Amino acid sequence: MQLLNERPKSLLDVSMHYCPGCGHGIVHRLVAEVMDELNIREKTIFVAPVGCAVFADTYFNCDAIQGPHGRGPAIATGIKRAKPDSIVVSYQGDGDLASIGMAETVHSAARNENITIIFINNAIYGMTGGQMAPTTLIGQKATTCIYGRDPKVNGYPIRICELLSSLEGTRYAERTTVHNVAGVVKTKNAIKKAFQNQVNGIGFSIVEVLSMCPTNWGVRADNPSEATKYINDQMVKIFPPGVYKDVK
Amino acid sequence: MPKQGKIEVNEERCKGCYLCVSVCPNKCLEKSDKFSKTGYYPASYKGSGCIACMSCAKICPDLAIKVYEL
């Protein structure tokens, strides 16, 4: 009898605080598996965001720092420039990266900083209780747009991968999902490539992951088909998965 | 002859999201009828039917599933 999935060494053996059915835990595991496979755990510095993943620095078995809201790419830039041999990853959510941290994100991409960004897009502010995010879909209900997002009042969702791929400095931008097993496998490959780009000195790499938030979407957490169906039917129409930029 | 496997669910880590139940191709996982210490009805293995495809382990957000190949 052989165990097929050992817990990655880069992830501490602790219980994570995420809600049932949340995609953060899946992406944490994928990041840890990639760190193990590339054997970069000891030189990785992990930048945790403000948002649901605020305690991520206590889950990873590597050096980590928890930064102010949206400033992940700026902190990562500083670390990478001061310690060029380290591998720096900034893990951010959509309220963090696409809203308050938009300037930091865009300018770190424009400067082609050699960092890796993992961007979790669940189309809502999770930690603060389900407010409208820049990525909230048209018609999606949130606590600050209770009749659904109206483009006349609230504007349109921001597509980060498309936006960053228009910048010359971005080297790799891919959008994936974690709502099914095929998506998880693709996400792992994308995260691996984003880390490899940094190891090889290619430059700014971002992976956008569409993830479930059953709690704040107002769907049942114990019936996964409701949240995964929402990604499958609604989110991928607005945020189509795929490789948006890949400069060798 | 397909592979044969066995699934172990860590009941204290499982939060009852049942993503594993929804992706299992052989439907060999189910919702347990026993309450766990953490206050959820965890997923549990029916006892047979696992083909060690790893789908459940790949989608589990809480790393609560161990898959063995027999």
Helix segments in A86-223, DSSP class H: 94, 102-110, 151-154, 160-165, 181-199, 214-217
Q: Are the C-beta atoms of residues A64 and A79 closer than 8 Å to each other?
A: no
pTM exceeds 0.90, yes or no: yes
Q: Are the C-beta atoms of residues A239 and A205 closer than 8 Å to each other?
A: no
Render pLDDT for A117-148 as a digit per residue (tens, 0 to 9).
999 999 999 999 999 999 999 999 999 999 99
Mean pLDDT in residue range B56-61: 95
* Among A181, A212, A215, A225, the residue to mutate for chain B (most B Cβ within 10 A): A181
- Residues 6+ positions from A246 with CB-CB distance below 8 Å: A171, A172, A174
Q: Which of A7, A185, A224 sits opposite B58 (nearest CB)?
A: A185
The position carrying tokens 């898959």 is: B67
Asked if A20's CB is within 8 angstroms of B15's CB, the reply is: yes
Domain of residue A209 covers 24-246
Residue B1 has pLDDT above 80, yes or no: no
User: What's chain A's average pLDDT?
Assistant: 95
Render pLDDT for B24-38 as a digit per residue (tens, 0 to 9).
999 999 999 999 999
What domains, with CATH codes, occur in chain B?
5-69 (3.30.70.20)
What would the DSSP string read from start to end of chain B? ----EEEEE-TTT--S--HHHHH-TT--EEE-SSPPTTSS--EEE-SS------HHHHH-TT--EEEEE-
Complex ipTM: 0.95
DSSP 8-state symbol, A72: H
Q: Which of B18, B66, B67 sits opposite A222 (nearest CB)?
A: B18
pLDDT value at position A248? 78
Provide φ and ψ at A193, rounded to 5°: -65, -40
Read off the CATH number of the domain in which A236 is found: 3.40.50.970
Residue A224 has pLDDT above 90, yes or no: no
Residue A223 has pLDDT above 90, yes or no: no
- Over pLDDT 70: what percentage of chain A? 100
Residue A95 has pLDDT above 80, yes or no: yes
Residue A10: inside a domain, yes or no? no
Please identify among residues 157-216 of chain A the ones whose CB lies closer than 8 Å to any CB of chain B: 178, 180-181, 184-185, 214
Nearest to A31 by CA among A21, A16, A201: A16
Render pLDDT for A37-84 as a digit per residue (tens, 0 to 9).
999 999 999 999 999 999 999 999 999 999 999 999 999 999 999 999
pLDDT value at position B61? 95
Q: Which of A16, A178, A224 sits opposite B18 (nearest CB)?
A: A224
Is A16 part of the contact surface with chain B (CB cutoff 8 Å)?
A: yes
Render pLDDT for B37-56 as a digit per residue (tens, 0 to 9).
999 999 999 999 999 999 99
Mean pLDDT in residue range A21-45: 96
Neighbours of A110 (CB within 10 A): 14
Q: How many alpha carbons fall within 13 Å on the CB side of residue A160?
A: 37
Q: Confidence class of residue A107 from pLDDT cuts 50, 70 and 90?
A: very high
Residue A9: inside a domain, yes or no? no
Rg (CA), chain A: 17
Render pLDDT for A176-203 as a digit per residue (tens, 0 to 9).
999 999 999 999 999 999 999 999 999 9
Q: Give the neighbor-by-neighbor strand order of the sheet with B5-9.
A: A2-3, B65-69, B5-9
Asked if A185's CB is within 8 angstroms of B17's CB, the reply is: no
